[in-house]
Chains A and B, each alone.
Chain A
Amino acid sequence: MANKKFCLGLFTGSVDKLTAAGVVLSGAAAMDMDVDIYVLLQGARAFKKEIGDDASKLNMSENAEMKAEFMESLKKLKVKTWLEFFREAKEITNVKIHMCGLAGKVWGGNVLEDFVDIVDDIVGIGSYINSAAEADVSLFI
């Protein structure tokens, strides 16, 4: 039986939502889903090589004033960083990470080498829409 397809539009570049995306991605990996992630505008900044999982360079989307407590709690609970979640999911199942060309350029990323090494390619928006149309599960975070 073919694996189910999971499409994620990843707009967010905030550490809390990226962590949530990583947890969701882990669930998809456990289910052996084929995953396509499309990194959109704000998300592209987090995937820049000089940002990645350096939490000091990432904002919180909610309860911004409680970032220190949030990060400390994640650490206590031994929760992986968002980038570790993404890397692990790629090791477990078929995960492709596609960078929206426009989003990359907005943050000064023009070629694959400008981004963390888990990004597979740079694509246009048509790829995202096609993938979302064919997916069994489609989320936008």
Chain B
Amino acid sequence: MTPEELKNLKVDKTVDARGTSCPGPLLAAKKAIGEIKDSQILEVLSADEGTKKDIPKWAEKKNYKYLGTIEESGYFRIFVKK
């Protein structure tokens, strides 16, 4: 998805993991995805560079759909559809 499309997404749950280092954001995503329904969208906020690679790979292995990442100032917004 394009950054514009991502910005306009209706997100069902946002988890803010900006205060944690790896593996904190990944575990936050893992916990949060258990709290939404199939087809709903999770947004993960992370300031950890490795998360940008980690979450798409995790999503692929778990059969979730990685939608894309928006880079904000000092952090990332990562979108995954369950």
Binding site for B on A (CB under 8 A): 23, 26-27, 29-32, 77-79, 88, 92
Contact = CB atoms under 8 A, between A and B. Distances in A.
Given A31-B58, A31-B61, A32-B62, A26 B21 contact: no
Contacts of A32: 62
Contact of A78 (B23, B24, B31): B24
Contacts of B26: 26-27, 30
Contacts of B21: 77-79
Nearest to A32: B62
B27 A88 contact: yes
Contacts of B22: 23
B62 A23 contact: no
B61 to A, nearest CB: 6
B27 A92 contact: yes
Contacts, number: 29
Given A88-B27, A92-B27, A92-B31, A30 B58 contact: yes
B30 interface: yes
Interface residues of B, number: 14
B40 interface: no
B49 to A, nearest CB: 13
Interface string B28-72: 011100000000000000000000000000100110000000000
B65 to A, nearest CB: 17
Closest 4 interchain pairs by CB? A26-B23, A30-B30, A77-B21, A30-B26
A74 B18 CA distance: 16
6 contacts: A23-B23, A30-B23, A30-B29, A77-B21, A78-B19, A92-B30
B20 to A, nearest CB: 6
A92 B28 CA distance: 11
Contacts of A92: 27, 30-31
